[in-house]
Structure 1
Amino acid sequence: MVDLRPVSPAAPPLAGAPIMGQRWADLVFLHWRVPVADVEPLVPRGCAVDTYDGSAWVGLIPFRLLDAGPGRLPGVPWLGSFVEWNVRTYTVDAEGRRDVAFCSLDAQRLGVVLGARAVFALPYAWARMTGSREGDVLRYASRRLWPGPRGASSTATVRLGAPLPPDDPDAGLAEFLTARYGLHTRIAGRLVHVPNTHEPWPLHRAELLGLDDGLLAAAGLHGVADRAPDSVLCSPGVRTRFGAPVPATALPPGTRT
């Protein structure tokens, strides 16, 4: 068994200087409960799938990434602001760190896609994307350009609702799905943890008005988007900073939480 660290809305501070800062805005969190076995082939080798209420969870998250820049410097004009849409699940390493693992990340900027693939070995794809907010309604659309499957697309329309109170019955699940302060990936054949830190998420309930998704299936999660999400949340966003990757100890094959 893995000695899991507690999930907490309060992020730990970075151990060293940040390597990158950025702002995440107008996020939509769509999540589905799925069998652990469906997700295990998609996570970095050496991780276990993190579970809640006995299930794995996969997320489809469109948002606007703004003002990305190196270290503590201001964001890079144009290149540092774009729409991103990721498919993700949740993982644990031998240290008990509870991270995000990305199945895919679609983004507007080809330079960002190439850089993230080369430096962090993340499954970024270049896509034609739009994102807008009109009052309390968020609309996102994406169509993949490179690499394949070319043309994989998604559209989502969501209405922002009231803030999620701390004593809400769904607060525990919401915290599990969003209070993640790092990602797992493999760089040069080794499992690493890339930490980040930000203020607690301001989460809101939300109503899904429309979804036509092919990104989950393109990531290997077939049939998931054929049913309604089990959790729909939104957030106006946070400012975040990333630290340098640190080695993570791999778990033995077949480890489950």
Structure 2
Amino acid sequence: MGTTRVPRPIMYQAWSDLTFIHWRYPAAAVQRLLPRGLTAEEFDGDAWVGLVPFAMEGLRVPGVPPPPGSSWFPETNVRTYVRDARGRSGLWFLSLDAGYLPAVVGGRAGYRLPYFWSDMSVRADGDRYVYRSRRRVPGPAGARCDADVELGPPLAGRDGLAEFLTERYRLFTVVAGGLASARVEHRPWPLRHARLTHLDEDVVRAAGLPAPAQEPLVHASAGVRVRIGMWSRR
């Protein structure tokens, strides 16, 4: 996909102790959840949906230290992969659960993203990540994501599917009824193979999709530092 530059970021953050959990979906099942102007992007004949739990660190705006309580909090995203009418690839978020209420308010107000406030935890224990999440507001209250992940060896060589699923440097949103996007900058993900030893979730169904019908593809990463630009209609 290729990295992108964000010369004037309006937000800095780091995503750490992260797991990518992905399932194949028929493109039509994903397309019906997308706004006008976006098309579900396929790999190997299918669209893909990701469940991505992680820890958010160091959230701040330029020139200002992180506000109290924002130095670390959990987040879990349900996302899919899209292309706009100009052929630009990016992310469409179906839901974002966060354990820090100001981030929920800011994400909804500033980027019009579907954030939810949730009771969450992330624990990194050697080669194991443990995630717990229960949604508070807005509903559906109680939507959950509990996952235990066992980390494996680093990925060796190029992996086209892993790059398609993880190397995404643009997010799309809808602002005042019109499609907008923001660029995201970070180094390529340092990925490891991983496997789920436990998964109990219904946030994918809460986002409007059928429950996953097959085993997921799983990768993990220690994380990356991120620069995010302001949304634009261009």
Q: Which TM-score tier does this pair reach, normalised by the shorter chain?
A: over 0.9
Does the C-alpha gap of structure 1 residues 198 and 72 become closer, same or farther in structure 2, counting only changes over 3 Å? farther
* CA shift for structure 1 position 103: 0.3
* Equivalent pair of 2:57/2:70 in contact (CA under 8 Å): no
Residue of structure 1 equivalent to 2:218: 232
Task: Tell me the residue number matched to 1:190.
Answer: 178
Counterpart of 1:51? 42
Q: Give the alignment partner of residue 199 of structure 1, picking from 166, 184, 187.
A: 187
Deviation at 1:199, TM superposition (A): 0.8
Aligned to 1:181: 169
**Are the equivalent residues in 2 in contact too, given 1:18–1:72 (CA < 8 A)?**
no
- Distance, in Å, in 2 between the alignment partners of 1:122 and 1:12 is 21
Distance of 2:169 and 2:34 partners within structure 1: 17
Supply the distance in 2 between the matched residues of 1:68 and 1:45 (Cα, whole angstroms).
31
1:79–1:109 Cα contact (<8 Å) kept: yes
State the Cα distance separating 1:182 from its structure 2 match.
1.2
Q: Report the residue type matching 2:219 in the other structure.
A: L
Please report the TM-score for the alignment, with normalisation by the length of structure 1.
0.88
- Letter of the 2:214 partner, please give it: R
**Could you tell me whether the CA contact under 8 Å between 1:18 and 1:244 is conserved in 2?**
yes
Alpha-carbon distance between aligned partners in 1 of 2:184 and 2:196, rounded to the nearest angstrom: 29
Determine the C-alpha separation between the residues in 1 that align with 2:63 and 2:131: 29
Runs in 1 of length 4+ with deviation above 3 angstroms? none
Q: 2:228 aligns with which of 237, 242, 253?
A: 242
How far the C-alpha of 1:177 sits from its partner, in A, is 0.1
**Residue aligning to 1:253:** none
State which of 212, 217, 233 in structure 1 corresponds to 2:200: 212
Shift of 1:44: 2.8
* Residues 102-111 or 36-45, more deviating: 36-45
Calculate the aligned-residue CA RMSD, in Å: 1.2
Deviates more, 1:107-116 or 1:234-243: 107-116
Are 1:126 and 2:117 counterparts?
Answer: yes
Count of residues in correspondence between the two structures: 234
**Do 1:58 and 1:88's aligned partners in 2 also have CA atoms closer than 8 Å?**
yes
Amino acid at match of 2:42: T
> For structure 2, which runs of at least 5 residues remain unmatched after alignment?
none
Preserved contact between residue 202 and residue 211 of structure 2 (Cα < 8 Å)? no
- C-alpha displacement at 1:188, in angstroms? 1.2
Equivalents in 2 of 1:37, 1:205: separation in Å?
A: 29
Q: In the aligned structure 2, how far is the partner of 1:113 from the partner of 1:155?
A: 20
Aligned counterparts, 1:51-200, within 5 A: 51-71=42-62, 73-167=64-158, 171-200=159-188
One-letter code aligned to 2:13: Q
Q: Where does structure 1 lack aligned partners over 5 or more consecutive residues?
A: 1-6, 249-257
1:13 maps to 2:1:
no
Deviation at 1:78, TM superposition (A): 1.4
Distance 1:201 1:35 in 2: 26
Q: Which amino acid aligns with 2:10?
A: I
SS at structure 2 position matched to 1:247: coil
Distance 1:101 1:72 in 2: 29
SS of the equivalent of 1:175 reads: helix
Mapped to 2, the partners of 1:112 and 1:70 lie a distance apart of 12
How far 1:71 sits from its partner (Å)? Answer: 2.2
